[in-house]
Amino acid sequence: MAGIFRQLATIGVTLLGLLILTFVIGRIMPVDPVRAIVGEEATREVYENVYRQLGLDKPMWQQFLYYIRDVLSLDFGTSLRTGQPVAQDILQVLPATIELATLAIVIGAGVGIPMGVWAAVYKDKWQDQIIRVISLTGHSMPIFWTGMIGLLVFYAALGWVGGSGRMSQFYIGVVPDRTGFLLIDSALAGEWEVFKSAINHLILPASLLGYSSSAYITRMTRSFMLDQLNQEYVTTARVKGLSARRTVWSHAFGNIKVQLVTIIALAYGSLLEGAVLIETVFAWPGFGQYLTSTLRMGDMNALMTCVLLVGVIFITLNLISDLLYRAFDPRTR
């Protein structure tokens, strides 16, 4: 029970620190929120009225308390760019990024974990060298460059995948927006042509993000496995005649699952908030493109909410990692 209270206290302190950081960012950014609302031609009287309406004439500590009040009531203000509540904007764009990042992490983990194990088993042999070169390449190449090359090769030249956007222009408006997740909505509506088009457009950006993520997962898996394969229990299992496959996957790999949970969770969080470049290249209407637009427009309400959301995502993923720790490893309970 005490452990639960400590964990809740830690989360509370972390969230408070995140709120303070977000508030400070909003105040030190070289953007005048009043001028962004009223425009450059507004009179001094209009400027001062809006200044007071925003509460900027109040002491800083009072402004911070108002900010906490608004956040707790899920009132993040209105976006200057769209004229809609920021929360509504984010709910519209976030599903597209979740769809992209989820498929990417499935690809990244599905490729990276086996490659990392294989590299560890064949340490310093040609298999290991090839895998390390592939991982280094994926980690080193800029994602916007691989995105453009991918479009040129697989879309423009070969025609294997769809181009930019989430689906073909022909299908826009065909599927009712129920969940925001195009694959789910098209499947619920029975529009399988739209579903096929969505998969066709999703597979290339997700694969490129997944390749970039798999490079990190491969290197970490290899490192964890090398540590386990050098343990005495592995040597004992081999001396007793246990097969190499069972020794690697049942014993050694079983002991790194807890560590991999954290690695995959952090990689997933990075994909959710770091897909800005790939979304820009593929004109993907997701969170990353929304964040880029808010930066260009100096939309402080939207920008502060995006920063806050990224922090909450990582806090949530760390909490989930802790819970999975307890599920996979009884020693941590």
pLDDT digits (tens, 9 = 90+) for 208-221: 999 988 988 999 99
Please report the domains of the chain, with CATH numbers, ordered by start residue: 2-72 (no CATH), 94-285 (1.10.3720.10)
**Rounded-to-integer distance, Cα 275 and Cα 143, Å:** 9
Q: Could you tell me what percent of the chain has a pLDDT over 90?
A: 13
The yes-or-no verdict on residue 165 having pLDDT over 90 is no
Residue 31, helix vs strand vs coil: coil
Residue 177 pLDDT grade (very low, low, confident, very high; cuts 50, 70, 90) = confident
Q: What is the mean pLDDT of the chain?
A: 83
Section 198-202 average pLDDT:
91
CB atoms within 10 A of CB 5: 9
pTM: predicted TM-score of the whole model, two decimal places: 0.83
**Rounded-to-integer distance, Cα 198 and Cα 242, Å:** 46
DSSP conformation letters of 58-124: S-HHHHHHHHHHHHHTT---B-TTTSSBHHHHHHHHHHHHHHHHHHHHHHHHHHHHHHHHHHHHTTT
**Rounded-to-integer distance, Cα 290 and Cα 51, Å:** 26
Section 245-254 average pLDDT:
81
The yes-or-no verdict on residue 25 having pLDDT over 90 is no
Given its phi and psi angles, is residue 148 left (phi above 0), alpha (psi -120 to 50 degrees) or beta?
alpha
